Every structure is written in structure tokens, then in C-alpha cells.
Amino acid sequence: MNIIFRRLVGEAVRRRMKQKAHTRSIVKAEYINARVEVSYFFKSSLFMLLGVMSAAFGLKSFLLPNNFIDGGVTGISLITFALTGVYLSLLLVVINLPFILLAWSTISRSFAIRSMTAIVMLALAVQFIPFPIVTSDKLLIAVFGGFFLGLGIGLAVRGGSVLDGTEVLAIFVSKRTPLSLGDVILVFNVIIFTVGAVVFSIEIALYAILTYMAASKTVDFVIEGIEEYIGVTIISEKSEEIRLAIIEKLGRGCTLYDGKKGFAKRGEPLKPIDIVYTLVTRLEISRLQAEIDKIDANAFVVMHSVKDAKGGMIKKKPLQH
């Protein structure tokens, strides 16, 4: 009887220890997730704030005082402001609003909320912050106005939001047509510059194209790549958890392929490992990195530019948050 009693007590103790260990692992995972979320929030907010201030500086110190225009929704707002005299801050919000509503279903709810917050902050900065007029030289206005505007848009994208709804429209249209994101944005801006040439002058339209080129190249530089899609290879011992996060949290597809860890001494067997490969838009990079960090902060992640992609889930399914 004593032997049986000791066995029962031992099993009860082992079960209790396993339950405690499981509880500790859950608490640790929740702590890591909360820490990553807080870090992601503050980093995104900082990028958003810097982006808003840079874009507002480009608008008020260069473009607005000299009746210059740009591409995208900002260009539409500037043209409407010049024709009607309605407050630019109001136009920035109103004209971007349909694109933000589109982002709600096309990308994600959290992305739409962040973008709307950034656009409202930009409108308030344009309305209330007294930026100085830097120059009246047309070439400097086109180049540096575009530079600061593009810097602001790029920083906002790095923060997981947009200051201009053009890319949201491009994602929506590209899902339903054979056109790539770049094609949609190009057609959209050609229409804007044509209207600018008719309403103002060909000279203003040509300077607007120069402004847009400076802005777009700056955006490309800030977010590290001119391509619309980013291929991501993830090597981690927690590949299954990362795979599920990509599917369930981001609503994206992925591919697993067999690999072996190459870091081993001569004669030692190489440890097999599953490698995760996925394709996301550049607007989703920061969120993907946050999800990876929650699961495995030491995961080896390689990103490379992809000009365009077809099929799979990249153009099929919106993000889920």
C-alpha cells in the first residue's frame, strides 16, 4: 500500500509541476507579445509623427505658397484648393476618406485607422503650424518640395500607414485587373497632371511631374525598395507558429520547403528545418516583422524586392486583424 501511495503522490506532484511550467510559459509568451506590441506601437507612432511633420513642411514651405501641385490624392487636393479656395486641411481629409474606407476592406481595419489618424494629423499640421516659406525658385520648389513630401509619405508607410490614398486604390484595382500597382499609380497620376496642364499651364504640369518624381524616389529610398512586393524568407525553429501567424493574422499565403541548418562542425549531422517563404506588399512589412518577433525574436529573416506577383493569396484575400 505504501508503494502505491507513494506512486500516486509522485504522479500528483509531477502533474502539478507540469501545470506550473505550462502556466509560466503562457505568462512568458503573453509578456513577450505585450512587449512587442508596445514597441511596435511607439515605433509606428514615431514614424507617423515624423512623416506628418515632413509632409506638412514640404507643403507649406514649398508647394502651397507657389501654387505647385503633386501627384496622387495630395495633387487632387492642391488643384481643388487652387480652384475653390476651400481649406487644404479639409480637402486632405475629405478626398482621402473614400480611399481610407477602401483600405478598411482591402488591407485591414487597423491600417485604415492608423492612416486616417495620420491624415487628420497632417491636416491639423497644415492648418495650424506656421512653417516658413523657404524659396521662390521653381526648380528648388519642385525638387525639395517633392523631397520633403516624399520623405513624409515614406516615413508614414514605415509606420504602417499612408498619407495619400493612391496606393490603396492601386491595391484594390490590381486585385481586379491585370494591371500591376505601378501601372495603376502611373495612370492615376497621368490624369492628374493632364488636369493640371489644362487648369493651370503646361509649365506648372511639367514642374508637377518633377515634384512627383522627387517625391516618389524619396519614398522608394525611405522604405528601401522601388518594388511593390517584398519576398520574405524566414528560418526559425518555430516555423509552424510563424506559418499560422502569416495565415491567420495577416491573411496571406506562404510556402514551406525543407532545409538544413548549415552551422555544424565537420562530421556532425545537419539539423533539418522548415523554411517559410511568403510574399507581402511593402505596406505590410512592419506588421509581419512584429508578428515574427512575437514568436521568435532571433528568427533569421531575409527580404528581397519583387517587381510584381500573380496568383496565390497575394491579390485574393484581405488582411485580418
Start and end residues for every CATH 3.30.70.120 domain found in the chain: 229-306
Task: Please determine, looking at this structure, whether the domain spanning 229-306 carries the CATH number 3.30.70.120.
Answer: yes
What's the pLDDT score for residue 39? 81
Check residue 13 and give its pLDDT: 59
- CA pair distance 275, 233, nearest whole angstrom: 7
Collapsed DSSP state (helix, strand, coil) of residue 276: strand
Whether the Cβ atoms of residue 88 and residue 77 lie closer than 8 Å to each other: yes
Is 67 in contact with 194 (CB distance < 8 Å)? no
CA–CA distance from 121 to each of 70, 114, 134 (Å)? 19, 11, 22
- In a 3-state reduction of DSSP, which class is residue 231? strand
Instruction: Give the separation between CA 100 and CA 93, rounded to whole angstroms.
Output: 10
In angstroms, rounded to a whole number, what is the distance separating the alpha carbons of residues 134 and 132?
A: 6
Quick one: pLDDT at residue 7?
A: 61
Q: What is the mean pLDDT of each run of 10 residues along the chain (321 residues)?
A: 58 66 70 79 89 93 85 86 87 91 85 91 92 89 91 87 83 74 76 87 88 84 65 92 90 88 82 91 84 90 76 49 38
Determine contact, residues 156/51, Cβ cutoff 8 Å: yes
